[in-house]
Amino acid sequence: MRRSGLSNSEGEIAMSLGERLGAEFFGTFWLVFGGCGSAVLAAAFPQLGIGFAGVALAFGLTVLTMVYAVGHISGGHFNPAVSVGLVAGGRFPVSDLVPYIIAQVLGAIAAAGVLYWIASGKSDFAAGGFASNGYGDLSPGHYSMQAALIAEVVLTFFFLFVIMGSTHGNAPAGFAGISIGLALTLIHLISIPVTNTSVNPARSTGVAFFASTAALSQLWLFWVAPIIGGALGGFAYRALFGDAKR
């Protein structure tokens, strides 16, 4: 894995935009398929379900594995809020932002579609929430819109803070994927009861299209809050600690 991961250093620039977008597509696909798939297929399996902790770990593992697999190609964002945050933190060119977001959203939708195809093979399948995010009646713990908004902003802020620090030029080399994956696991352990945990607009969008609830009507919050949190996190880290690059 390239040392700096999640940035726009020379290792990334050497790759074509098409290669980088392909990496983002498949990385985001894996995040949604692995994370949301664990929630849909395994979380409540009778007597052996993995529960909230298992789902949280699954999301962390998807990011950890893909950061090492394709982080040296695209930077390993897999999340529009991360891309926006890295622009705010001076680590990613704004000219590539829209193509990255499109690739991420398409990867998420494709993953959700494959997951729906698999899940619907069960005789008593009902899509229900389909691992979508929500507030109020669509929140696992019935948390308010205000609580959901605050949680998503704060958690995405700290996710970017961890990403910026882990990929800083003075950070220990080779460990960024581990710290970032564990940060995402922790974020899910905190907030699954609140919003089912987004911190990723692409992840929220992919599964919302297949849920049989009103998830699409609440999707706006899971774009607005993570992007605000990500931008603030990237900007704050850069303002406080600068950016040493190798």
> For the segment 36-48, what is each residue's pLDDT rounded down to a tens digit?
999 999 998 988 8
CA distance 60 to 76: 13
What is the mean pLDDT of the segment spanning 179-183? 98
Spell out the domains of the chain, with CATH numbers in brackets.
Answer: 10-241 (1.20.1080.10)
> For the segment 168-180, what is each residue's pLDDT rounded down to a tens digit?
989 998 999 999 9
DSSP 199: S
Sign of dihedral through CA atoms 26, 165, 2, 93?
positive
Closest CA relative to residue 135, chosen from 200, 214, 205: 214
Written as six digits, the tokens of 93 are 């060119």
Alpha helices in the chain (DSSP H): 10-13, 17-37, 51-74, 80-88, 97-119, 145-166, 176-195, 201-208, 221-241
> For the segment 204-221, what is each residue's pLDDT rounded down to a tens digit?
999 999 999 999 999 999
Is residue 143 over pLDDT 70? yes
CA distance 76 to 246: 18
> What is the pLDDT at residue 12?
44
At 4, is the pLDDT very low, low, confident or very high (cuts 50, 70, 90)? very low
> For the segment 5-36, what is each residue's pLDDT rounded down to a tens digit?
455 443 445 799 999 999 999 999 999 999 99
CA distance 18 to 243: 27
Query: Residue 58: how many CB atoms within 10 A of its CB?
Result: 21
Written as six digits, the tokens of 219 are 């999707």
- For the chain, the helix, strand and coil percentages under 3-state DSSP, each to the nearest 5: 70, 0, 30
| Residue 81, CB-side half-sphere exposure with 13 Å CA sphere | 31
What is the mean pLDDT of the segment spanning 137-156? 98
> What is the pLDDT at residue 244?
61
| Lowest pLDDT segment from 8-22, 87-101, 227-241 | 8-22
- Single pTM value for the model: 0.93
CA distance 72 to 11: 7
| Residue 15, CB-side half-sphere exposure with 13 Å CA sphere | 21
Written as six digits, the tokens of 205 are 């969008």
Which residues fall within 8 angstroms of residue 18, CB to CB, at 6 or more apart? none
Which residues fall within 8 angstroms of residue 19, CB to CB, at 6 or more apart? 73, 74
The amino acid present at 102, given as its one-letter code, is I
